Amino acid sequence: MPRWDTSAFFPSLNSPEFDTAFDALIAEIAALRQLWDRENIAARIPKSQTASAEIVRAYEAATNAYNALLDNSRIVNGYIALFTSTDSRDALAQAKRSELQKHLVTLGVCGTRYTAFLGSLDPESLLAASEIARKHEYYIREAQIAATHQMSPAEEELSALLYPSGGGAWSKLHSDLTSQLAVPFTGKTGETQALPMSVIRAMATDPDGDTRHTAYEAELAAWQTVAVPLAAAMNSIKYETDAIAQQRGWESPIDSAAFGNHIDRETLDAMLSAARKSFPMFRKYLRAKGKVVSGKRSATNPGEDGAPASDHSLPWYDMFAPVGDAAANKAYSWAEAETFVAEQFGVYSPKLRGFAERAFREKWIDAESRPGKSGGAFCMSMRGSESRILHNYRPSFDSVSTLAHELGHGYHNLCLAERTALQSGTPMTLAETASIFCETIVKEAVLKTANPAEQVAILEASLQGQCQVVVDITSRFLFEKGVFERRRERELSVDEFCTLMTDAQKDTYGDGLDETKLHPFMWAVKGHYYGATFYNFPYMFGLLFGLGLYAQYQTEGESFRPRYDELLSRTGMTEAATLANGFGINIRDEAFWKSSLDLIGQDIEKFIALTA
C-alpha cells in the first residue's frame, strides 16, 4: 500500500528547511497584522466610503499580501497535517500544530478585519477603480453581506483568541480520542485483540454476517467508553457555535451555513423537500438488499409501498454488507485500482487521466490503514496544482469508487490552481462537484461491460453511498438541528444524544432498517459534527448537483468538457445558483433535485430487477 510522499515539500518536520518556512510564516503573519494597522484595514466610518486613491492603494496592498500569505499558510499547515492525520501520536507534529495554531488565530483576526474593511466601502467605486478588485468581485460583494453579521472588532478578536482553547480544543479532543481508540474484538478463532476503530468499522463490509454483527457490537461498546468526553465536546461546540451565530445576527447556524455555502434557504428547502419525497424509493432499495442478505422471500407484513417490510428490514450492521456472488465482488488490489481508475478517467478526457497518473506517480496518496491514522478519506490542496489524498483502502469496488471520488477533489484543485487564494475558497456544496462526477464516470463505465452478477455488486456500491448521502445525511441534518434547538436550553446527556440520533434514523430510514438495530453513536463517529458550522447538507447538494451535471455531459459530449473545467475554476468566484444557471439548471426549483434523484431511482429499479 502506498504512503504519501512528504519530501516533495520539506525533508522532514525537524529539518532546517521546514523550520525556516515555519518561522517565515509566523513572521509573515506578524507583518500582515502590522500592514493592517498601518493601512487601517478595518471597518471605516462612515460606511460606504467612496474608493479614494488612498483606499484603492490600501485595498490592493492588503489583498496581494493576504493572498500570498494564505498560499504559504496552506503549504506549512498542510505539511503538518500530513503527519497528524496519519499518526495522531506524533508528538512533534502535534507540537508544531499547536504552536502554529495561535498564530493562525492572528491570521483569522486579520481575515475578520479585512471583511469589515470591505464591508465599509462602496463596492461600485472600488470595482471601477481597481483591476484587482474586479478579479475579486464576488468576494467583495459577499464581504458586504458578511460584514453585517460581525460582532464588534473587540468581540471578534476575543472569539478568535478563545477558539483554540474552546471549540477548537473540543474538536481536537474528538479527533485524538477517536483516532487512538482501541476496540477489543474477538474473532472466530476466539482470540481477542485490540484493533483501531477504523479497522472495526471497515468490518461492516465483511462478507461474513457474524463478523459484521460482532464488529457492530464491539464498536457500540467502544463508543460507550468515550461517550462522556465526546458528549462534553458536542455540548460545548454546539453551544459556542449557536451563541456566536446569534451574536452575529443570524437566526440560526443553518442560515449562517447556507450563506457560507453560497446558497440560500430557498435552495436548501427545495433540495430537502425533494429528498424527503424520495425516501420511499430508498426504503425499497434497503428492503431489496435485506431480502438478498437474509435470503428470505417472505411476502408477509407489507410495507408502506406494498413491499414486504419487517422480514426484510436491514439491521444497521448489514447496511454495508456485500451482495451478489463473491466473484462479482471483485477484490481490487491497489495496483488494479490505479490502472482501472486511470483507464476510466481516460474515457472522459486525457487531461483527467493524466492528472490521476501524476497523483499515482508522484505518490500523493496514503492508502494504508494503521493505528493512529484518521479514518475515512479526504483530499487536501497543498501547493499550486498539487494535492495529497488520505485513504483507508480496502480491496473492494467501494474503495475504488472512493479513490475516484478523492481524485475528483484533486482535479478540482488542479482547475483552481491559477486562481488566487481568495478566488478559490470553494464552499462544501460545490467542493463535491468534481468528486461525484468522477465517481459517476467510474461507475457508469464499468456497468457497460459488467455481467448481471457484476452489475448487482456495482449498483450496490453506488446505491449504498447514495443512500448515505440522501437518507443518512438527512438523518444527520435532523439530528444536528435538534441538538442546536435543545442545547439552547441546557446540556444534553449521552443518552439524549443517542435518542436524538436513533429518532432521526427512524424518521428517515423508516421500515428500510430494523429499528431495534440502529446506530445510536453515529454522533460520536462523524468528526464533522465537532466543527464550528452546520455541516450536513452540502454533501447531498454535491451528489445531486454532480449527477445533474453528469446528465448534461451525456447530452452534450465534447463541448461539455471545457465549460465544466471553467465551472470548477470558478467555484469560489460566484454563487451556486449562477454557476448552475450556466448549464440551464435552476437549483431553487424542487424539480431539478427530483430529476437527479430520479436517476438514482432508475438504478434502484435495476438493482431490484437483478436481485428479484
pLDDT tens figures, 217-251? 999 999 999 999 999 999 999 999 999 999 999 99
Task: Evaluate whether 354 touches 417 at the Cβ level (below 8 Å).
Answer: no
pLDDT of the residue at 194: 95
100 and 154 within one domain:
yes
Same domain? For 191 and 97 the reply is no
Q: Grid coordinates in use for 52?
A: 479614494
CATH of the domain at 210: 1.10.287
> What pLDDT is stored for residue 496 in this prediction?
98
pLDDT tier at 299, thresholds 50, 70, 90: very low
Band of residue 308 on the pLDDT scale cut at 50, 70, 90: very low
> What average pLDDT does this structure show over 604-612?
95
> What mean pLDDT comes out for the span 392-405?
90
| Beta-strand relationship, 182-186 and 386-390 | unpaired
Longest Cα–Cα distance of the chain, Å, equals 79
Q: What is the pLDDT of residue 303?
A: 43
* Residue 493 resides in a domain: no
Check if the beta carbon of residue 397 is closer than 8 Å to that of residue 461: yes
The CA distance from 77 to 25, in Å, is 10
**CB crowding 540-553: b at 16 or more within 10 Å, else e:** bbbbbbbbbbbbeb
Query: In terms of residue numbers, what domain contains 21?
Result: 16-165
In this structure, are 31 and 94 located in the same domain? yes
Helices H / strands E in the chain, number of each = 26, 5
Given a cut of 90, whether residue 26 has pLDDT beyond it is yes
> Which helix (H) or strand (E) element contains residue 544?
helix 537-556
Q: Give the integer Cα–Cα distance in Å for 126 and 131.
A: 9
pLDDT band at 311 (very low <50, low <70, confident <90, very high): low
Residue 565 included in any domain: no
The predicted structure's pLDDT at residue 235: 97
pLDDT at 329: 66
Are 186 and 142 in a shared domain? no
Going by pLDDT thresholds of 50, 70 and 90, the confidence category of residue 92 is very high
Same-domain status, 99 and 155:
yes
Which of 4-18, 247-261, 283-297, 340-354 shows the lowest mean pLDDT across its residues?
283-297
Output the pLDDT for position 528.
Answer: 86
Q: How confident is the model at residue 326 (pLDDT cuts 50, 70, 90)?
A: low
- For residues 310-345, b (16+ Cβ closer than 10 Å) or e, as one string? ebbbbbbbbbbbbbbeeebbbebebeebbebbbebb
Cα separation, 223 vs 233, whole angstroms: 14
Residues 157 and 92 in one domain: yes
Q: What 3 state SS string does 84-148 have?
A: HCCCCCCHHHHHHHHHHHHHHHHHHHHHHHHHHHHHCECHHHHHHHCHHHHHCHHHHHHHHHHHH
Residue at 137 is within a domain: yes
Is position 211 within any domain?
A: yes
Look at residue 325 in the predicted model and tell me its pLDDT.
Answer: 65
Q: Are residues 22 and 148 in the same domain?
A: yes
Q: Is residue 134 domain-resident?
A: yes
- Residue 277's pLDDT band (boundaries 50, 70, 90)? very high
Residue 407 pLDDT > 70: yes
Domain boundary residue, one of 132, 165, 198: 165
Give the residue among 333, 386, 500 at the shortest CA–CA distance from 5. Answer: 386
- Quick check: is 33 in a domain? yes
Q: Domain check: are 193 and 137 in the same one?
A: no
> Please, which pLDDT band fits residue 86 given cuts at 50, 70 and 90?
very high
How much of the chain exceeds pLDDT 90, in percent?
Answer: 80
Segments of 311-468 assigned E as strands = 365-366, 378-383, 386-390
Least confident of 305-319, 330-344, 542-556, 562-576: 305-319
* 57 has pLDDT over 90: yes
Partners of residue 192 on adjacent β-strands = 186
Confidence of residue 510 (pLDDT cuts 50, 70, 90): very high
The whole-number average pLDDT for the span 319-330 is 75
Q: Which of 190, 168, 5 is nearest to 82 (CA)?
A: 5
Distances 395 to 334, 337, 433 between C-alpha atoms, Å: 7, 9, 25
pLDDT range class, residue 301, cuts 50, 70, 90: very low
Are 186 and 118 within one domain? no
Per-residue pLDDT, 612: 86
**Mean pLDDT lowest among 25-39, 254-268, 324-338, 453-467:** 324-338
Whether residues 213 and 102 fall in one domain: no
Report whether 603 contacts 547 (CB < 8 A): no
Which helix (DSSP H) or strand (DSSP E) does residue 186 occupy? strand 182-186
**Alpha carbon 346 to chain centroid distance?**
26
Residues 23 and 160 in one domain: yes
Question: Is residue 101 situated within a structural domain?
Answer: yes
Q: Is residue 242 part of a domain?
A: no
C-alpha cell at position 426: 470553494
pLDDT of residue 297: 34
d(CA 347, CA 442): 10
| CA-wise closest residue to 200 among 186, 219, 173 | 219
Q: pLDDT band for 534, please (50, 70, 90 cuts).
A: confident
Number of domains the chain contains:
2
| Distance from C-alpha of 502 to C-alpha of 519, rounded to nearest angstrom | 7
d(C-alpha 196, C-alpha 309), whole Å? 35
CATH code, domain with 160? 1.20.140
Confidence label for 282 from pLDDT (cuts 50, 70 and 90): very high
Instruction: Tell me: do 191 and 104 sit in the same domain.
Output: no
